[in-house]
Structure 1
Amino acid sequence: MSKFAFASTGKSCRLLAISELVIIYLGFICVLASFYFTSSEEVQQKVYSLLDIPFLPIVIILLMLSLGLYNPRLRCDEQGVFRRLLIISALVLLLAFPLSNLDFFSLDFQITLYSVVLSLCLLMAFRYVISRRFAESFRHKVLVLGGGERAQIIWQRMRRESDKKGVDILGFVPISGDKEADLGSNKIDLDIDRDLLNYVKANQVDEIVVACDERRGKLPVKSLFSCKIHGVEVMDVLNFIERETGQIAVNQMYPSWLVYSNGFSRPDSIRAISSNLLNITIAAAILFVTWPLILFVMVAIYLEDRGPILYRQTRVGYGGKPFEILKFRSMRVNSQANGAQWAQKDDERTTFIGRFIRRYHIDELPQIINILKGDMSFIGPRPEQPEFVDRLCQQLPYYSERHNVKPGLAGWAQLNYPYGASDKDALEKLKYDLYYIKHRNIWFDMSIFVRTVEVVFFAQGSR
């Protein structure tokens, strides 16, 4: 586990962000004090500078969020974290340079430079100390009640240390009725009717996850109730997987859970209007910033093989209705003459300029037109071709539920899973798409948008 990327799930993530915001703010205060606060007259003259200080620390925290430094499943070493912090420093300084020349912004560029360097050094030191001394305090102890196929889901999903940074799985307790499953050496021989509460007390268990294959007449209800009375949280395996992995276990989901669980609600008119305004605002801002790049790509595509610049393809959208998606052409003309195909790694059909624009997702920019037309949203499940949808709806349960929201240019599945090129990948992405549909709101959309910056910066999930 990286010394600088450690467990930061739920409340601990918010606590971490607030703590680091305070640290960054103190770094700015220290630099400002060393420059100006040498006499009482200068203090009075420069007090208004304090009003400008919170702006840049908040920007730094947002950039740390966008580059994955608050992602509990961040998989990178110290160099990866340091590289992200260097990118953050460069972006903040690029923002501060023009602001320092404006009359209403009182911080000099030199002060901002020293403040950013000091703050990021303090952040590295803070994360090192926390990860070495207090990492265990961010974890809660979990006992899994079950030793069969449902329990194996937890074992498979959270086998690596990077997948269970926020939890410490003590073991799996088999129950009568469980099917045979490989859980390694993690099974615990325990008489759940007599000794469950004693085990919970002795090992300071915070949470019990019910993951048995057969519940009817098999659950130790009295023992579980006693544990709950003593402050231990009892949770269903589906809710646990949803919380810890950011996905829904579709292949283990039962209809009653889908009906009775929270979420999957239709947005009210205010949320719908705010979502549309967010889409239009983001689309307009991206067009304003990227129009020189768009013109350059259009010329480059045309000069390479004199073919069409835009690629049009039928996709399935909201309500299962087809629409025509727009992309910059990144493959040779007639690349799908033999029928619809998944894009593969190092696909031979890709052109020279196509490899570049696909790597950095530039080929997706024309979909802003789809967003402005209302065919797509900025955030949502990625739309697929009708040929794939027809087959996947028959093979995968609940796949058609993806069409209850508008498809998106970016999405929760794209942040958490690499490019899908098979039916198996489609199932994994469906788990993330259903999680998004269940929890979607404008704040979740904004969080996904900010974190998408990391995907673009490091060319993740492209083929």
Structure 2
Amino acid sequence: MSNTYVSERRYVHRLLGKAAVSEEVLIVTSYDYFLQKYDLALLLKKYKEIILIPHSSDDDYLLNHTVRPLLDKFEKIHLVTNPQYDKRNRVIYELVVRKNKSIRINTVYDFCEKILKKVYIPDDVSEINPNLFTIPVFGRRVRYPKKIIDVTVSIILFLFTLPLWILSYFRIKLESPGPVFFYQERVGINNTAFHCIKFRSMGLDAEQHGASFSKKNDTRAFAYGSFMRQSRIDELPQIINIFRRDLSLIGPRPERQVFTETFDETIPYYNMRHNIKPGITGYAQVMYTYGAGVYDARHKLMYDLYYIKNWTLALELKIILLTAVVIFKKRGR
């Protein structure tokens, strides 16, 4: 399905759901940065239209001259509110009630968690998500089944991929002088540092100008290194980290301290992802496309915190299956 943005008098963005199964319209009163392509595709199957109301210096004009005419088209309204926009929330509610239309209301926090299956992370560090006053640290009920999965899958994966370990050893030696394995310090559970092990995919001078995020189709990688990165073969030595108990199979991806320090300062609740062991793969890795930097780290955190807050065995197994799909399709990094 193709998603089409339609400008409505320069103020309101409308997304039209051609195959919608409901006559209901979704109105999001807060800035729409948290809605990704995957989210919109999901919502357009459910709603006739989606109306996204951006920042505005003139809410009265925006709501009365732009949103109000749109309300005449629908009998059912689903309003997603953000406390930061309390005035526009009240105005829309009054407009709907005055027209004797049906309305249901969710906060953006509940909407994200219940409908989109991710936790809303405010764009503004001063904003508070009441759903995140407490977030669990995995107890025995979670740790034991995760440990069984970690050890079982890791042993099977190591035996199954042993020929790739041997092939990679010789190809790396042939194409790039230096060690076969690459050790990089990462931040783990409770902010403790550990050395993450990978097959080396870049030259020895890859970070001669300082630490930087890896990129999709990174030019610093040699030929076989690029293939390893696309196929995730370079991640295989992290099985050793699982046996060392540094990593779990599933969890938030471990980052370098130079980046986590920045994210802690700019992204609300970022440090909560360190409540559990990081993982080789995770919910954010299978749900969010490749990206680097603060913007993408915030979006990935939405999925990481949902995983921590709503862990189930079914979710764990779903992530394993989706990871296999991502690897098979060689999608992003």
Give the TM bin, normalised by the shorter chain.
0.7 to 0.9
Matched, 1:458 2:329: yes
Q: Is the 8 A contact 2:20 2:46 kept in 1?
A: no
1:258 aligns with one of 105, 128, 131: 131
Q: Is the 8 A contact 1:371 1:377 kept in 2?
A: yes
Rounded to whole Å, the distance in 1 between the matches of 2:232 and 2:196 is 15
Distance 1:169 1:399, change over 3 A: farther
What residue in structure 1 maps to residue 45 of structure 2? Answer: 166
For 1:302, give the aligned amino acid: K
Matched, 1:441 2:297: no
Aligned identity (percent) is: 29
Higher percent of residues as helix: 1
What residue in structure 1 maps to residue 27 of structure 2? Answer: 144
Q: Is the 8 A contact 1:248 1:434 kept in 2?
A: yes
Q: Is the 8 A contact 1:142 1:209 kept in 2?
A: no
Higher percent of residues as strand: 2
Rounded to whole Å, the distance in 1 between the matches of 2:249 and 2:87 is 44
Q: Is the 8 A contact 1:412 1:448 kept in 2?
A: yes
Q: Secondary structure at the match of 2:44?
A: coil
1:153 aligns with one of 32, 36, 42: 32
Is 237-246 or 293-302 further displaced after alignment?
237-246
Q: Secondary structure at the match of 2:258?
A: helix
Matched, 1:341 2:224: no
Q: Is the 8 A contact 1:312 1:327 kept in 2?
A: yes
Q: Is the 8 A contact 2:184 2:195 kept in 1?
A: yes
- TM superposition shift of 1:356: 0.7
Q: Secondary structure at the match of 2:184?
A: strand
1:381 aligns with one of 252, 256, 260: 252
Is 392-401 or 452-461 further displaced after alignment?
392-401
Matched, 1:189 2:68: yes
Q: Deviations over 1:10-39 (max 9, x none)?
A: xxxxxxxxxxxxxxxxxxxxxxxxxxxxxx
Distance 1:185 1:377, change over 3 A: farther
Q: Deviations over 1:130-188 (max 9, x none)?
A: xx9xx543x57244274xxx1x32796479962523331646598xx975589899942
Rounded to whole Å, the distance in 1 between the matches of 2:38 and 2:64 is 12
Q: How does 1:234-249 map to 2 (within 5 A)?
A: 234-249=105-120
Rounded to whole Å, the distance in 2 between the matches of 1:416 and 1:299 is 34
1:410 aligns with one of 270, 275, 281: 281
Q: Secondary structure at the match of 2:90?
A: coil
Q: How does 1:57-456 map to 2 (within 5 A)?
A: 136-137=20-21, 139=22, 141-144=24-27, 146=29, 150=30, 152-153=31-32, 157=36, 162-168=41-47, 170=49, 179-180=57-58, 187-189=66-68, 203-205=74-76, 207-211=78-82, 213-215=84-86, 219=90, 233-252=104-123, 254-255=127-128, 257-259=130-132, 264-456=135-327
Distance 1:163 1:184, change over 3 A: farther
Rounded to whole Å, the distance in 2 between the matches of 1:299 and 1:172 is 56
Q: Which runs of 5+ in 2 are unaligned?
A: 3-17
Is 429-438 or 447-456 further displaced after alignment?
429-438
Rounded to whole Å, the distance in 1 between the matches of 2:301 and 2:37 is 19
Rounded to whole Å, the distance in 1 between the matches of 2:304 and 2:52 is 31
TM-score (norm 2): 0.79
- TM superposition shift of 1:337: 3.0
Tell me how large the CA RMSD over aligned residues is. 3.8
Q: Is the 8 A contact 2:34 2:299 kept in 1?
A: no
Rounded to whole Å, the distance in 2 between the matches of 1:384 and 1:173 is 33
- TM superposition shift of 1:402: 1.3
Distance 1:158 1:187, change over 3 A: farther
Q: Is the 8 A contact 1:171 1:186 kept in 2?
A: no
Is 296-305 or 279-288 further displaced after alignment?
296-305
Distance 1:140 1:320, change over 3 A: farther
For 2:211, give the aligned amino acid: A
Is 307-316 or 330-339 further displaced after alignment?
330-339
Distance 1:266 1:302, change over 3 A: same
- TM superposition shift of 1:339: 2.0
- TM superposition shift of 1:411: 1.1
Larger radius of gyration: 1
Runs of 4 or more above 6 Å deviation? 181-186, 220-224
Q: Secondary structure at the match of 1:251?
A: coil
- TM superposition shift of 1:344: 2.6
In the comparison of the two structures, how many residue pairs are matched?
311
- TM superposition shift of 1:236: 0.8
Q: Secondary structure at the match of 2:68?
A: coil
Distance 1:159 1:213, change over 3 A: farther
Distance 1:183 1:279, change over 3 A: farther
Q: Is the 8 A contact 2:216 2:332 kept in 1?
A: no
- TM superposition shift of 1:250: 1.5
- TM superposition shift of 1:418: 2.5
